[in-house]
Structure 1
Amino acid sequence: MQAEVLMYDGIAEMDALLTFDVLARARLMGVDVSPALVSVDGRPEVTGCYGTRFGGLRQWDADRADALLVAGGWDVDVIEASSLPAQIRAFKERAGSRLLLGGIDSGALLFGAAGLLAGRPATTYRPDFGYLAKWADVIDAHIVDDGDLVTSGSGWLAGLDLGLYLVAERLGAPHVAVEIERFIGHDRRGTVWRR
């Protein structure tokens, strides 16, 4: 799996990096996954919501990616005014049904603003449930798996939970997910909802 973790100005650093870290560790343990930090336009550097600068990014590639993992960040009132949702929609349309979308915490709101959640179940950061309800059928669960859309809404550790879920369930390596849990001192938590 080529898993592209989208980075953009204002991203919640921990959400994106925790998912990337779990997938990178799984790769080191022999799982067939290649995580990459990417930007929409090939800009090599972005700045997170706490001012952290991330460099060495490559341009996202809908022809290469098997998964696009998107964390939240910006205040919710900025999301719809941004060009990012339209760019995410175009990426999904180009990649087609083979592309797995992973919403890390409030990353699901970007999918909603992109028009990718209509009539679909999803979860997000609990305080944003009302906002997500504009676009999706909100499910109060840690992980919501709806085929080519998986969302995680467990707060600050959503990135860990989504990464571990992908390793165990989508990459077929539950034994590796357990080893990573032991290594990082975090067990997957909460309810998984599947259609």
Structure 2
Amino acid sequence: MTIRFGLLVFPGIQQLDLTAPYEIFASTEGAEVHLVWKDTQPIISATKLALQPTVTFDDCPQLDVICVPGGGGINALLEDEIVLSFIRSRAARARFITSVCTGSLVLGAAGLLKGKKATTHWNAHDFLASFGAIPTAGRIVQDGNLITAGGVTAGVDFGLAVVAALLGQEEAETVQLSLEYAPAPPFHSGTPEEATADVLARTKRHLAGSRMAREAIIARLTASQRDRA
């Protein structure tokens, strides 16, 4: 049985948001994995890694799993109706609608989070309510066929959880073992709760530019929704 995964790839994507679940999905028995964008020209990630889309929106087959990764590049997607329409159309028939990191905000802009529990990167968690979501703490949050993951590295855990939902725990554990996923981080500063105050402040400064731009976009979207209502 073929299971079709489609991961959105776009300029400014955080490559690990994409490549972590991609590696899990591509290692799964019967998987067919597509990197989807408007065209098939190379994409440059936020950290300057070149990525190659494999299929266009027009040529993308129906998907069992649609996944939207995050990164600074999602700011432009929040107001890109071509992207949002594609996500809505594929989500309507997908078994699972998913995201990693700030990709959940794109699902929100597409109208897919209303009344749903969802998570995202800790530095964007407060934006979820603007899209009608129920902000929920967790590395992986599932609400029906919606599965959202926290920031960046959560994409590995997320990928395994999706595989388990599709094919059972044994297949997920087989993939986990084949990739020797047995995390033992050298430092314990992976969440705001664990990090020192100095590290947290430094990290927020590092992320401030993208966050400020995102705040302005979401404010526009919220105002537009109020005007239509």
- Give TM-score, length-normalised by structure 1: 0.80
Alpha-carbon distance change, 112 to 179 in structure 1, aligned in 2, over 3 angstroms:
same
Counterparts of 2:7 and 2:165 in 1: how far apart (Å)?
18
C-alpha contact 2:44 2:50 (8 A) present in aligned 1 = yes
CA offsets, 1:164-187, max 9 Å, x none? 111112222x22322332333335
Give yes or no for contact 1:43–1:58 (8 Å, CA) kept in 2: yes
Q: CA deviation at 1:148?
A: 2.2
Q: CA deviation at 1:86?
A: 4.0
For 2:105 and 2:154, the matched residues in 1 are separated by 14
Q: How far apart, in 1, do the equivalents of 2:68 and 2:94 lie?
A: 17
Q: Which has the higher contact order (CA 8 A, sep 6+)?
A: 1
Tell me what 1:19 maps to.
Answer: 21
Query: For the residues of structure 2 that align with 1:7 and 1:74, how far apart are their CA atoms?
Result: 12
| Separation of aligned partners in 1, 2:76 and 2:8 | 17
Q: Give the match for residue 88 of structure 2.
A: 89
CA distance in 2, matches of 1:25, 1:15: 16
1:123 maps to which of 119, 143, 148: 119
> Which 5+ residue runs of structure 1 have no aligned equivalent?
189-195
Contact 1:32 1:171 in 2 (8 A): no
Task: Tell me the residue number matched to 2:180.
Answer: 185
| 8 Å contact from structure 1 (residues 10, 73) kept in 2 | yes
Q: Output the aligned Cα RMSD.
A: 2.2
Cα distance in 2 between the residues matched to 1:33 and 1:57: 15
Conservation of the 8 A alpha-carbon contact between 1:44 and 1:58: no
Structure with the higher fraction of residues in helix conformation: 2
- Corresponding residue of 2:10: 8
1:157 alignment counterpart: 153
Identity of aligned residues (%): 26
**For residues 105-144 of structure 1, what are the structure 2 equivalents within 5 Å?**
105-135=101-131, 136-144=133-141
TM-score (norm 2): 0.69
Report the equivalent of 1:74. Answer: 72
Hey, what's the Cα distance between the residues in 2 that align with 1:98 and 1:132? 22
What is the one-letter code of the residue matched to 1:124? Answer: T
Looking at structure 2, the residues matched to 35 and 76 of structure 1 have their Cα atoms a distance apart, in angstroms, of 21
Instruction: State the distance in 1 between where 2:99 and 2:22 align.
Output: 13
* Unpaired segments ≥5 residues, structure 2: 184-229
